[in-house]
């Protein structure tokens, strides 16, 4: 779809917050990523299907169906696919411990990297006070967020006609709103503290749509991002190294097809 690109092989891949069933879902970019990557483990870290949105209005493009089929095909071909439901696909939490088409459903899991680090993998909504204690406010925020994403779709359609690459208006605004920045920082701190309480080396989560690898007081915090804004994944190399891969054209770079862009790996000391 985006020209020739070699196949990248990883030990593990984490993706989350795809939000299939919404117009903001970047399913075509995700399909391109899935076609050009292979891994032993593939973790679906929640909000893969947006049940909240589908309850209100039905939207399901062919590309969304193609994503589901591609994930099932990977499972059939031997990839260990683990689905950890989030708040938008919370109905699947009733099926923890079951498997469908080779995809195993788990509430959370501890992943051991090739270099021996133990990482707690969960969606992260249980550490979001708004989702946990004021769901009506979360639903209102979801409506506002999806409205912004709809604007983003129109905005990027215009950019494509002008020859520019994908750029997330919603991510740009979120990174510049003080309260949003404070919310993200607080979320990261709380999730890292939970990892410390569980006596693991780090944590991998999604939920807040902000890809990140950093140390927080000796705990490795990893967020794999999303596929409506950053179009990113967390990957583990065969030696245990972790990094974020961005599958969309970097912001403000035009007229080039989507490509991988990596951020610096931050290892856990000791």
Pairwise CA distance, residues 195 & 204, whole Å: 9
Lowest-pLDDT range of 183-192, 205-214, 245-254, 255-264: 255-264
pTM: 0.75
- For 185, phi then psi, to 5°, come to -60, -40
pLDDT on residue 174: 57
Residues 6+ apart with CB under 8 A from 225: 16, 17, 206, 209, 210, 211, 212, 231, 232, 233, 234, 244, 246
Alpha-carbon separation of residue 200 from 13, 85, 94, 117, 214 (angstroms): 19, 21, 26, 8, 15
Pairwise CA distance, residues 197 & 209, whole Å: 24
Pairwise CA distance, residues 250 & 261, whole Å: 8
Number of DSSP helices (H) and strands (E) in the chain, helices first:
7, 13
- For 172, phi then psi, to 5°, come to -60, -45
pLDDT on residue 218: 96
pLDDT on residue 160: 72
Alpha-carbon separation of residue 158 from 110, 161, 171 (angstroms): 43, 5, 18
All structural domains of the chain with their residue ranges: 9-262
Q: How many CB atoms lie within 10 A of CB 37?
A: 20
Residue 39's DSSP bridge partners are 10
pLDDT above 60 (res 198): yes
Kindly give the interhelix angle for 27-35 and 62-76, rounded to the nearest 10 degrees.
20
- Tens digit of each residue's pLDDT (9 = 90 or more) over 116-139: 999 999 999 988 653 343 343 344
Q: How many CB atoms lie within 10 A of CB 177?
A: 10
Q: How many CB atoms lie within 10 A of CB 163?
A: 9
Give me the chain's average pLDDT, please: 82
- Tens digit of each residue's pLDDT (9 = 90 or more) over 18-48: 999 999 899 999 999 999 999 999 999 999 9
pLDDT above 70 (res 143): no
CATH superfamily of 9-262: Metallo-dependent phosphatases (3.60.21.10)
- Tens digit of each residue's pLDDT (9 = 90 or more) over 222-237: 999 999 988 999 999 9
């Amino acid at each position: 779809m985006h020209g020739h690109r070699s196949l990248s092989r990883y030990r593990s891949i984490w993706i989350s917050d795809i939000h299939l069933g919404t117009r903001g879902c970047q399913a075509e970019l995700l399909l391109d990523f899935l076609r050009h990557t292979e891994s032993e483990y593939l973790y679906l870290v929640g909000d893969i299907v947006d049940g909240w949105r589908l309850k209100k209005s039905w939207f399901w493009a062919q590309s969304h169906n193609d994503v589901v089929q591609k994930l099932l095909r990977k499972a059939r071909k031997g990839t260990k696919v683990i689905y950890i439901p989030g708040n938008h696909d919370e109905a699947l939490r009733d099926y923890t411990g079951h498997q469908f088409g080779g995809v195993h459903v788990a509430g959370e899991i501890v992943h051991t990297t090739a270099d021996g680090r133990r990482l707690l993998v969960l969606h992260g909504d249980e550490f979001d006070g708004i989702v946990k204690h004021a769901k009506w406010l979360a639903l209102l925020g979801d409506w506002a967020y999806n409205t912004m994403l709809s604007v983003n779709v129109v905005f990027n359609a215009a950019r494509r006609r002008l020859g520019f690459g994908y750029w997330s208006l919603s991510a740009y605004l979120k990174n510049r709103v003080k309260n949003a920045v404070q919310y993200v920082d607080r979320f990261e701190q709380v999730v890292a503290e939970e990892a410390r309480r569980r006596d693991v080396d780090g944590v991998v989560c999604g939920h807040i749509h902000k890809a990140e690898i950093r140390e927080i007081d000796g705990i490795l915090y990893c967020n794999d991002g999303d596929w409506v804004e950053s179009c990113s994944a967390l990957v583990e190399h065969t030696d245990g190294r972790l990094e974020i891969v961005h599958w969309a054209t970097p912001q403000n770079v035009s007229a080039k097809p989507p490509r991988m862009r990596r951020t610096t790996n931050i290892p856990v000391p000791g």
